[in-house]
Structure 1
């Protein structure tokens, strides 16, 4: 392995690892930097004092020991975190229990304090970590440039697909919209629901002949290619954890030319242009109202999808890479 300018130390190989480590490293490569990324730190990165280490939510005991050692050596360390891990809801029991452990919370704080800089996705998250490290850089999520030219493989038989994709950590969000979505599908026979990653359609008791399910797609780019909705949905409960999230679902859908119907919670309020790139839901009955408008009007879907795609052009990794460069390399 050649001498590295930057090593991205990923916490996982799924969505967070892709959007906050792998894709940013790709962006830095485009700017001429020598980079690598992995969940395991190679000796070439660990032992080279010139290599900047970007560590994603480092908090487990052994990685934390290494992080603290590197900090004592005067290494440039950038702590990357994209969720409010201090306010995970109990409806995600595994993550809630893990990040509530006193030793894990202590490691999070110490490792943030030891970092040269911190990168986050949103302003609320910056406010969360700033007391431990004032050198916080807000670097919004971005999408790969190729997505803007990808055409989703939508059904063309007259059935309109309402879609969502994500992990099994969104029960509290679907609690907000389940009744309205179930009624909408029951009253609009020319529609179906497609869930990717976690089968919330079955959880909402939507009939099997009105729903499709694609199991968890580990590779993010394969997941993006699996999106085939005509209309995307993004329910989000107004919870403290969610206030710090990004509008990634709206950004992904928009890059594919798909309008979104999303909860009017901060991430989407800050991104979705109501009536232009999608709709924001402020009252329960508006789920059906906005979905019906898009399902029944192909011209509106097309216009909103085009506007959403134009908006997404400002949020590619090529556009965002200079922000990563400034945060990581100073």
Structure 2
């Protein structure tokens, strides 16, 4: 089977790397040949995170995508990340899609809210229902959680499957118990945008807890920030060192602000922490409530008092951290691993389209 994969980003983009690219070896084992065509390259992402976007690069990206759509006519199935052409109306995008090739569309966030909750009336009018139309025209929608799956069903998608974001458990391994010594590290991993929206508001609380408990806070993936508390370490994200930097943590956290966008998140950082044998503390929003079993593999915390109690309990109890970390690892192995979901995803593609002669 020939699978044309139209990703949004290259490997630097987490959604493309995790939802699609990491499946390539397992799909190959099942006789599925993948051809990856990113819309936006690493240069675009570096500009996005650095605040120096180049519209010339964006124009070239769209021209490249049009070329890739033409080439997709020879595929057995198209695997599309979210939409083919961002900010282009659904009618135009549909007209440019190859005819007669089934499309599997993948969503790991509530992209539809970028349009239907936009501050511009014109954007809401032209694009507010775009993603619903893309979903409805897809042969299959793969949704990263129930919130996204429910939206696809309401949109009229003929077939919807919930496929969580997963990790390769041969790559993600718990740190040896004897290595867990010294200062307790509370850790967070994300991007500059999620730092601003999710973590930054509670940094004063976290640093106060760290100070009282003789702990530290590691922040992976944010910009270098001036005037942060001395107990906060800003660590750049590097794919090759991602696992080791999570293993250097003792507790993984995922605070969220309750918004429609947050309800569409897939909780991937929690899965990363748990795969490395860490207990977790998270806001009880969206899929977090499914991933975190309160009191088993971590704690759900809504208020500052609950965050303080959860973190101080884990900091003070090394054996509880180990117990919860092992429970989280077992859950990832059975429900959120590439090894479990790879063959299932391959089967879905064979159900969608038959290989051409």
Calculate the TM-score normalised by the size of structure 2: 0.77
Partner of 1:38: 37
Q: CA deviation at 1:44?
A: 9.3
Do the aligned partners of 2:89 and 2:130 also contact (CA within 8 Å) in 1?
no
Q: Is 1:214 aligned to 2:214, yes or no? A: no
Q: CA deviation at 1:247?
A: 2.1
Of residues 115, 120, 131, the one that matches 2:138 is: 115
Partner of 2:299: 279
Q: CA deviation at 1:101?
A: 6.1
SS at match of 1:126: helix
Partner of 2:80: 55
Q: Distance in 1 between matches of 2:114 and 2:6?
A: 23
> What per-residue deviation string (whole Å, max 9, x for no partner) do you get for residues 154-179 of structure 1?
97662111100101233332366344
Q: Distance in 2 between matches of 1:306 and 1:236?
A: 24
Of residues 54, 79, 90, the one that matches 2:105 is: 79
CA shift in 2, pair 1:296/1:321, >3 Å: same
Q: Is 1:253 aligned to 2:257, yes or no? A: no
Do the aligned partners of 1:164 and 1:234 also contact (CA within 8 Å) in 2?
yes
Do the aligned partners of 1:166 and 1:197 also contact (CA within 8 Å) in 2?
yes
Partner of 2:288: 268
Q: CA deviation at 1:34?
A: 1.9
Question: 1:8-27 to 2 correspondence within 5 Å?
Answer: 8-13=5-10, 14-27=13-26
> What per-residue deviation string (whole Å, max 9, x for no partner) do you get for residues 243-279 of structure 1?
2222211111010011111112231111111111111
> What per-residue deviation string (whole Å, max 9, x for no partner) do you get for residues 134-171 of structure 1?
32221111111323436389976621111001012333
Do the aligned partners of 2:169 and 2:275 also contact (CA within 8 Å) in 1?
no
Q: CA deviation at 1:206?
A: 4.6
Do the aligned partners of 1:53 and 1:77 also contact (CA within 8 Å) in 2?
yes
SS at match of 2:23: helix
Q: Distance in 2 between matches of 1:100 and 1:195?
A: 35
Q: Is 1:159 aligned to 2:183, yes or no? A: yes
Q: Is 1:234 aligned to 2:254, yes or no? A: yes
CA shift in 2, pair 1:286/1:176, >3 Å: farther
Do the aligned partners of 1:142 and 1:317 also contact (CA within 8 Å) in 2?
yes
Q: Distance in 1 between matches of 2:87 and 2:350?
A: 27
SS at match of 1:87: helix
Larger mean CA deviation between 166-175 and 6-15 belongs to: 166-175
Partner of 1:321: 342
Question: 1:106-145 to 2 correspondence within 5 Å?
Answer: 107-130=130-153, 131-145=155-169
Of residues 182, 185, 200, the one that matches 2:207 is: 182
Q: CA deviation at 1:21?
A: 1.2
Q: Is 1:223 aligned to 2:242, yes or no? A: yes
Partner of 2:2: 5
Q: Distance in 2 between matches of 1:111 and 1:154?
A: 51
Q: CA deviation at 1:60?
A: 2.7
Partner of 2:47: none
Q: Distance in 1 between matches of 2:177 and 2:192?
A: 25
SS at match of 2:112: coil
CA shift in 2, pair 1:280/1:87, >3 Å: same
Q: How big is the alpha-carbon RMSD for the aligned residues of Structure 1 and Structure 2?
A: 3.2
Give aligned pairs, total.
314
